Amino acid sequence: MLNIALFGPPGAGKGTQSQFLIDEYNLFYISTGDLLRTEIKNQSKLGKEAQSIIASGGLVSDEIIVQIIEKTITDNPDANGFLFDGFPRTYIQAYILEGLMIKLNTSLNCLISLEVDEEESVKRLLKRGKSSGRTDDNETVIRNRLSEYKEKTLPVLGFYKEKGIYSGVDSSKPIPTVRKNIQKIIVEELSKRLLNIVLFGYPGSGRGSQGKAVAKKYGLEYVATGPMLGEEIEKNTEIGKQIKSIYESGKLVPDEIVVQLIEQKLENSKNVKGFIFKGFPRTLVQSYILDGLLKKHDTALAKIIEIEVPTLELIRRLDERSKTDNCMPYDTSTAKIVKRLQEHETKTVPVIEKYNELHGVVKVDGIASFEEVFEKISFEIENGFKNLR
């Protein structure tokens, strides 16, 4: 989700700039001013309460605001993101917004403050008043709205500066210039997002070779737990020594070790566009671990892809591989191959089912040439990048 609040005094151009943002980023627009005017038009109980306050240029109570805004947000949980105009306007409302975002398991990404001096605001609002039909666009009320802004709304900026999501834009500039500067802030915000992918498939489906190729093409970090374990043994690290003795005793490497390796990878990978996981998560427990690790790094899964290949073809491919230099220790006998396929079926298929229910798993037909499958996966990845916002 991309959630943005447009901040600024009345007349700063929030409404004008909102139009462009809604179209460009497909956001759900929430203007508390518009919502209140609708309530007044309908002469609802809330509308009647708000009417005289708005007419005088004061701020409507936080209790009224929470009621109108909560309903709008919770009625639209599938929105691509929200654009707030005229909210939050008080310190209390900043906390209300935090709470509402938590409820949707998301957060406000940026607060963009349109900055313009008081006399320019008055001039613009008086001009707007000639055609807006808004009774609060007259000089006495305008001055009152601006003094409410300075006294109650401006201090809210401190809240967002502290959170590190505040950006200021000089809004006395021409509309297209302001728009461009807003866009720059959003593009930068979007570029911070990671495209995290899990590539599922039975052993022999081509996950490894596809995963590596996709990672290279799109600047993703390829995370394959099997080779990562091998690397630790080779480098004879502390973890490597532990894994070696576990391997020698014939036991499975415990999740605690795998978690450490993945955590290291997440921390040490700089300037990557995202991560592509292969061979992890393998079990339901590991799927919870992955969700938690990504959450800890303020990111999440963006795309889950499964390469589908019928069982007979898998056996044929693995058997063929066993006769080449690429033969893995677990390819050496039919019994071992069958065991691996069974492991996937009993432990990993439930993970794919869980993800399918939660986020949807994209299925890619793996019975085709490497290039054809690669093209299909690439198409999904490009879609993923587009949907990151």
The whole-angstrom separation of Cα 12 and Cα 146 is 11
Nearest distance from residue 224's CB to ligand AMP, in Å?
Answer: 49
The whole-angstrom separation of Cα 296 and Cα 290 is 10
Give CB contacts under 8 A, 24+ apart, made by 373-380.
Answer: 373/206, 373/210, 373/307, 374/210, 374/213, 374/214, 377/199, 377/210, 377/214, 377/305, 377/307, 378/214, 378/217, 378/218, 380/303, 380/305
The whole-angstrom separation of Cα 377 and Cα 362 is 9
Nearest distance from residue 90's CB to ligand AMP, in Å?
Answer: 6
Among 86, 203, 208, 384, binds ligand AMP (CB under 6 A): 86
Among 40, 49, 51, 53, binds ligand AMP (CB under 6 A): 53
Contact pattern for ligand AMP over residues 3 through 22, marking x by CB under 6 A? -------x------------
Classify burial at 113, counting beta carbons within 10 Å of its beta carbon; exposed 0-12, middle 13-18, buried 19 or more. buried
Residue 210 touches ligand AMP, criterion: CB under 6 A: no
Nearer CB in complex with ligand AMP: 58/226: 58
Among 116, 122, 124, 145, binds ligand AMP (CB under 6 A): 145
Amino acid letter at 227? P
Among 3, 17, 18, 32, binds ligand AMP (CB under 6 A): 32
The token pair at 191 is: 């570029």
The whole-angstrom separation of Cα 289 and Cα 230 is 21
Q: At what angle do helices 349-358 and 284-296 cross, to 10 degrees?
A: 50
Pick the stretch among 31-39, 213-221, 279-287, 373-381 that binds ligand AMP (CB under 6 A): 31-39
* CB-based contact 200:212 (threshold 8 Å): no
Pick the stretch among 52-60, 156-164, 236-244, 318-326 that binds ligand AMP (CB under 6 A): 52-60
Closest by CA to 207, choosing from 370, 36, 372, is 370
- Considering only residues 99 through 138, tell me which ones interact with ligand AMP, judged by CB under 6 A: 136
Among 93, 121, 167, 171, binds ligand AMP (CB under 6 A): 93
Residue 348 touches ligand AMP, criterion: CB under 6 A: no
Residue 376 touches ligand AMP, criterion: CB under 6 A: no
The token pair at 109 is: 């990404």
Nearest distance from residue 146's CB to ligand AMP, in Å?
Answer: 10
Among 6, 36, 110, 362, binds ligand AMP (CB under 6 A): 36
Pick the stretch among 40-48, 49-57, 305-313, 355-363 that binds ligand AMP (CB under 6 A): 49-57
Place of tokens 């374990």: 229
Residue 381 touches ligand AMP, criterion: CB under 6 A: no
Nearer CB in complex with ligand AMP: 47/86: 86
Residue 65 touches ligand AMP, criterion: CB under 6 A: yes
Q: What are phi and psi of 116, to 5 degrees?
A: -150, 145
The whole-angstrom separation of Cα 3 and Cα 286 is 30
Residue 97 touches ligand AMP, criterion: CB under 6 A: no
Pick the stretch among 28-36, 106-114, 193-201, 257-265 that binds ligand AMP (CB under 6 A): 28-36
Which residue in the shown chain puts its C-beta closest to ligand AMP?
A: 33
Residue 54 touches ligand AMP, criterion: CB under 6 A: yes
Residue 286 touches ligand AMP, criterion: CB under 6 A: no
Closest by CA to 262, choosing from 234, 236, 239, is 239
Which residues pair with residue 196 across a beta bridge?
A: 301
The token pair at 34 is: 């518009």
Among 3, 89, 232, 344, binds ligand AMP (CB under 6 A): 89
Closest by CA to 153, choosing from 88, 100, 96, 95, is 88
Nearest distance from residue 57's CB to ligand AMP, in Å?
Answer: 6
Among 8, 9, 13, 33, binds ligand AMP (CB under 6 A): 33
Nearest distance from residue 18's CB to ligand AMP, in Å?
Answer: 11
Chain residues binding ligand AMP by CB under 6 A are 10, 32-33, 36, 53-54, 57-60, 65, 86-87, 89, 93, 136, 145
